[in-house]
Structure 1
Amino acid sequence: MIKLAMLLKRKKGMSFEEFDRYWSGPHADLLLSVPNFTRHVRRYCQSHVIDPSYGGEGLKWPKADFDGIAEVWFDSIDDMNRAFSEPEFVEKVGSDDLNFVDRESVTTIITEELEKIAPNGEAGVKLSVAMRRRPGMSFEDFDNHWTHNHWELITSVPEFTRHLRRYVQCHLVPEYAAADSGNEFHSAWGKAKFDGLAELYFDDVPSMVAAFNEPKFLEVIGPDDGRYTDIPRTELLTVREVDIIAPRQKTAVN
């Protein structure tokens, strides 16, 4: 199964509150009214920025210049392409983007999820970290270090993991990994400028900040970030998940 993450920026002249209301209301309702699109979807989640004034205080990464993340799961790349090519979707939903989204600023990340820590408890906050690899490092080396070396360090620090309610690594699908891939999907929406998406779930923002300021995290895990990520160009969003289409089996396509 794959996950499409679309990092959204509101259209110029629109307030964050107006964007957030339109996205969760009229736009979501419109999308749900197109069964020829939703039949392809396994899950659709809107990740809403909790507090647009929060600039990542207490964390070392800069705040992302986005207003939310639309996340859609499909069984395959082919299903994703079919969904977004449905004529009714293109006519009704695609054109509605212009009412609230700055399409030129949309960034797409097409990924496969690797769940490292399964859900344990109810999370109130998700930290989405859009990562860029360290300059001079190949994508393959970055991806391998993140999957194995960095993960081993995380598991070695229970003082950090005790705060986590879930941890997911979203790895770019190989054919969509290059920022200059030139594929048809990115030519329509915007090429991926990130190399992966880390999702860390916490009880709340204070718990999140406490986790990243644990002395053992700062001693063991923190220094490793600079070995494979470009920290100044890695960006974070602090969000809450809202399921528009809850996880499900795909509706049969006739």
Structure 2
Amino acid sequence: MSLRTDRVRMVVLVRRKEGISREEFARYWVGQHSQLFAGLAVTKKNILKYEQGHVDSDMERSLGAIGGEPYDCFSFVEAESFEKMAAVLSDEEFLNTIPQDEEKWLDRSATRFFPLNIATVLDQ
């Protein structure tokens, strides 16, 4: 087994803004924000895959019991290279659209980015 050379992944941990319910956040994040991000020309050109993982209250309790951090969503973004991901994050349209949208719904100071090389161990 070896690391993939055809793509890389970034995991982004997101926490909702205080005062916004988990349900409101999930509806917005999956319904509107994801479409805004996916609709950008730079995203279409550089991103191969964008998925979200949403944490519900039961999962949050379980995470707390084992010392996990209270995040509300995990985004998984795949591209051919980290350079292509960086192109998205530094693009003028992205910078003029996405951060302003995120300010409405998430705690940007709590957002964490984890760039990763991928080794597929099991894929059924």
User: Under TM normalisation by the shorter chain, which class is it?
Assistant: 0.7 to 0.9
**Greater CA deviation, 81-90 or 33-42?**
33-42
Q: Is the Cα contact below 8 Å between 1:34 and 1:89 reproduced in 2? A: yes
Q: Partner of 1:8 in structure 2?
A: 14
Question: Any idea what SS the aligned residue of 1:115 has?
Answer: coil
Map 1:182-193 to 2 at 5 A.
Answer: none
Q: Spell out, residue by residue over 1:72-91, the C-alpha distance to the aligned partner (whole angstroms, 9 max, x if none).
A: 00111111111111111111
For structure 2, the residue ranges without an aligned partner over 5 or more in a row are: 1-6
Question: Aligned Cα RMSD in Å?
Answer: 1.6
Aligned to 1:44: 50
User: What is the aligned-residue identity percentage?
Assistant: 25
1:94 to 95, 99, 102: 99
Where relative contact order (Cα < 8 A, 6+ residues apart) is larger, the structure is 2
Residue 81 (str. 1) matches residue 108 (str. 2)? no
Q: TM-score, normalised by structure 2?
A: 0.85
Match of 1:24 in 2: 30
Q: How many residues are matched? A: 116
Runs ≥4 residues deviating over 6 A: none
Q: 1: distance between equivalents of 2:121 and 2:22?
A: 33
Give 1:9's aligned amino acid.
R
What is the one-letter code of the residue matched to 2:10?
L
Q: Matched residues in 2 for 1:105 and 1:37: separation?
A: 23
Identify, as 1 or 2, the structure richer in helix. Answer: 2
Which entry has the higher C-alpha Rg, 1 or 2? 1
1:76-111 CA-partner distances (Å, limit 9, x unpaired): 111111111111111112221101110001111110
Which one-letter code corresponds to 2:89 in the other structure? F
TM-score scaled by structure 1?
A: 0.43
Unaligned stretches of 5+ in structure 1? 120-254
